């Protein structure tokens, strides 16, 4: 076995079970990277959308006009725009059917926005549990492959009369590569999970704060309408 032996050589020389472990870990790594890239784009887009919409919302633009603009793009809205749309739609509906009950109107409006916030956060968190799973179990799957590979190497070693380091080293190297692949899959998944979870938490705070502020504005309108 030369010092510059390739990963492919190690893979081909490994036992069937260790090969299955390696392929499983490589598949998990590819899937986690796909999830990381996709989820990063979606969350970054949600951050930009939240900043842009809040700029428009606090610019002094008439809420009715803003609502009509959002309504035209109903099939394409998400994030904070979806929360605004859900709240204003419910407010207008309840205010029309219950003009003399502002407290009832605001209770329904607040409930509608809380549901919208929960749905948007759930959407943002898609794939994050998968990343957490990859990050937590990949090292153990790799360790399992390593233990099995070492056992296989020592069993084979027991069949020879005189054992040398040169005979056992290749088998151990083949086994250890499973742990290396497990770490290769786990480390990016854990880092991405922590980073993306933090971003989702910040967006959830932005959504919750906006819904409270919007609720206050609508409450003033409801009370003014009663007068």
Q: For every one of its 227 residues, what pLDDT tens digit does the chain have, with 9 covering 90 and above?
A: 444 556 677 777 777 888 888 899 999 999 999 999 999 999 999 999 999 999 999 998 899 999 999 999 988 899 999 999 999 999 999 988 887 788 899 999 999 999 999 999 999 999 999 999 999 999 999 999 888 888 877 776 666 666 566 666 666 777 788 899 999 999 999 999 999 999 999 999 999 999 999 999 999 888 875 55
**Are 203 and 173 contacting, i.e. CB atoms less than 8 angstroms apart?**
no
In a domain? residue 1 = no
In a domain? residue 185 = yes
In a domain? residue 2 = no
In a domain? residue 71 = yes
Residue 18 pLDDT: 81
In a domain? residue 127 = yes
Q: What angle do CA 209, 109, 117 make, to 5 degrees?
A: 45
In a domain? residue 15 = yes
Residue 204 pLDDT: 96
In a domain? residue 30 = yes
The contacts of residue 23 (CB under 8 Å, 6+ apart) are none
d(CA 58, CA 73): 20
d(CA 92, CA 155): 76
**Are 56 and 66 contacting, i.e. CB atoms less than 8 angstroms apart?**
yes
- Domain of 184, in residue numbers: 7-226
In a domain? residue 74 = yes
Q: How many domains does the chain have?
A: 1
3-state class (DSSP) for residue 227: coil
185-210 pLDDT per residue, tens: 999 999 999 999 999 999 999 999 99
């Amino acid at each position: 076995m030369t010092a510059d032996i390739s990963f492919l050589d190690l893979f081909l020389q490994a036992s069937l079970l260790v090969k299955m472990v390696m392929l499983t870990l490589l598949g998990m790594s590819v899937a986690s990277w796909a999830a990381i890239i996709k989820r990063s784009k979606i969350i970054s887009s949600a951050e930009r959308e939240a900043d842009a919409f809040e700029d428009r919302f606090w610019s002094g633009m008439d809420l009715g006009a803003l609502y009509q603009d959002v309504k035209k793009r109903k099939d394409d809205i998400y994030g904070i725009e979806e929360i605004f749309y859900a709240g204003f739609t419910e407010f207008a509906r309840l205010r029309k059917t219950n003009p003399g009950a502002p407290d009832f109107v605001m209770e329904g409006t607040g409930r509608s926005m809380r549901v919208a916030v929960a749905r948007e956060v759930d959407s943002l968190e898609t794939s994050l549990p998968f990343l957490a799973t990859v990050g937590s179990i990949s090292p153990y799957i790799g360790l399992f492959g390593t233990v099995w590979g070492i056992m296989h190497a020592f069993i084979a070693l027991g069949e020879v009369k005189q054992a040398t380091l040169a005979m056992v080293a290749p088998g151990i190297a083949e086994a250890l590569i499973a742990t290396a692949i497990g770490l290769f899959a786990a480390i990016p998944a854990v880092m991405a999970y922590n980073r993306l979870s933090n971003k989702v938490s910040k967006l959830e705070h932005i959504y919750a704060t906006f819904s409270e502020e919007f609720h206050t504005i609508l409450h003033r309108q409801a009370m003014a309408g009663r007068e």
